[in-house]
Amino acid sequence: MSALPSAIEVLDIDPFTDENLADPYPMHERLREAGPVVYLERYRVWAMARHAEVYASLTDHDTFCSSRGAGLSDFHKEKPWRPPSLLLEADPPAHTVARGAMGRVISASTVRGFRETFRAEAEELADKLVALRRFDAITDLAERYPLKVFPDAVGLPEEGRENLLPYGALAFNAFGPHNHLLERALAGAAPVQRWIQDSCRRDALAPGGLGSKLWDAADRGEITHEQAPLLVRSLLSAGVDTTVHGIGNTIQALSANPDQWARLRENPALARFAFDEALRYESPVQTFFRTTTREAEVAGIGIPEGEKVLLFLGAANRDPRKWGPDADRLDITRKATGHVAFGMGIHQCVGQPIARLEAELVLTALAERAARLEPTAEPVPTLNNTLKGWSRVPLLTHPA
Ligand code: OVV
């Protein structure tokens, strides 16, 4: 990049400091107010934090491509830390093929088939936690539930499932800069990566599960047999930490807003809306990058070809230009549709029907049983270059 356009605001903000990751909201406001697109000199990237521009960039995949990586690293300039994802880190037409196969595996009818077992697990866990009275919404619920139902649905062996959360944390840290968080995630990651790789093999996956169904798609010629394990890897990369953070953030937000918990208790059928609003309010995936394939024009400002663009999904989801003056308030009866917590456009989360099912069932089971969710200590943030969430949310509950 030679000269920056004169209209551009150049900021010295580092979005990947511990402080900004733990509490990104003051930074989000600065970014949104600075302009529709800004330049972050520290990383030499462009950035957008307003809903309109984030949405427009996500839906213009020809200009803002993914095949050069959805993180800070430009795959044209640096070797990726693992073979690129066939979904997240691909563009049409290759992306279209992989996405088609994955979409048929995570079909509406397959997901409907999960409902009764997922419900039984949610009800059993909610019974147990409400009987305990004191529990941690993260370790006892937000981690526990997805770590049971999702690996079962994929068809993974019981042994080694403790590798799933560290692998997800690594994958999401790897979208950011090479800071102490990525260093820490990489330390000792070799056995984690080996377990993931082994678990993507056909002989590791139970027949009838999502993993096995991806191999069946290869038998039918929808994808190649070389591609099947990489698509299984996408399930294991994107399917666990995301739902753990989504469910954890939702319970934390509802416990901090007892009026909203009361509204859900009055009408547990609001569970799916409450989840969408919580995803808007505190988005598990805070950021993704794209790379320009040609000069892009954003609000009259030209971004040259080959530039990294940082999209602040979590900031777009609190943009008052889109959500009004109370964008920072959790309101489970708000129309949260149009949020970009699952992304938007061709890369929009392919697993979202599973995420929504898990969240609906956990929230419903808990809303039917727990009269109140009282925080007993400050929640403890967890730090990740991409994910926003909590490591501890201690609660006291009262049986309904
Ligand atoms: C960490 C992550 C997010 C989304 C997709 C993938 C990974 C993938 O491997 O496809």
Q: Which residues pair with 39 in a beta bridge?
A: 10, 46
User: Can you say how many angstroms the Cα of residue 94 is from the centroid of all Cα atoms in its chain?
Assistant: 23
Q: Residue 7's pLDDT is what?
A: 81
Residue 292 within any structural domain of the chain? yes
Cis peptide before 93 (omega within 30 of 0): yes
Whether residue 39 has pLDDT greater than 90? yes
Residue 1 resides in a domain: no
Residue 271 inside a domain? The answer is yes
Q: Within a domain: residue 56?
A: yes
User: Residue ranges of the alpha helices (H) in the chain?
Assistant: 18-22, 25-34, 51-58, 94-105, 108-132, 144-154, 164-173, 180-186, 190-199, 210-219, 227-238, 241-256, 258-266, 271-281, 313-316, 320-323, 352-367
Indicate whether 3 belongs to any domain. Answer: no
Residues forming a β-bridge with 375: 395
Domain total of the chain: 1
How far is ligand 1, taken at its centre, from the CA of residue 352, in Å?
Answer: 13
238 lines ligand 1 (CB under 6 A): yes
Atom number, ligand 1, closest to the C-alpha of residue 171: 1
Instruction: Determine whether the shortest distance from the Cβ of 342 to ligand 1 is under 6 A.
Output: no
Cβ–ligand 1 distance for 237 under 6 Å, the answer yes
Domain that holds residue 84: 9-399
Q: Is 243 inside any structural domain? A: yes
In which band, very low, low, confident or very high, does the pLDDT at 1 lie, cut at 50, 70 and 90? low
d(CA 44, CA 11): 10
Atom 8 of ligand 1 has which residue's CA nearest to it? 234
CATH code of residue 335: 1.10.630.10
- Assess whether pLDDT exceeds 90 at residue 237: yes
Centre of ligand 1 to C-alpha 237, Å, is 5
143 CB-near residues (< 8 Å, 6+ apart): 165, 244, 248
- Tens of pLDDT, residues 176-233: 999 999 999 999 999 999 999 999 999 999 999 999 999 999 999 999 999 999 999 9
Taking the C-alpha atoms of 67, 73, 77 and 82 in order, what is their torsion angle to the nearest 10 degrees? Answer: -70
Domain membership flag for residue 4: no
Question: What is the distance between the alpha carbons of residues 81 and 233, in angstroms, rounded to a whole number?
Answer: 14
- Mean pLDDT, all residues of the chain: 98
| Distance (Å) from CA 399 to ligand 1 centroid | 38
pLDDT digits (tens, 9 = 90+) for 309-318: 999 999 999 9
* Nearest atom in ligand 1 to 233's CA: 9
User: Which tens digit of pLDDT belongs to each residue from 98-132?
Assistant: 999 999 999 999 999 999 999 999 999 999 999 99
Whether this prediction's pTM lies above 0.95 is answered by: yes
Q: Residue 5 pLDDT > 90, yes or no?
A: no
Q: Please tell me the distance from the alpha carbon of residue 223 to that of residue 193, in angstroms, as a whole number.
A: 23
Residue 2 has pLDDT above 80, yes or no: no
- By alpha-carbon position, which residue is closest to atom 9 of ligand 1? 234
- Look at residue 263 and tell me if it is in a domain: yes
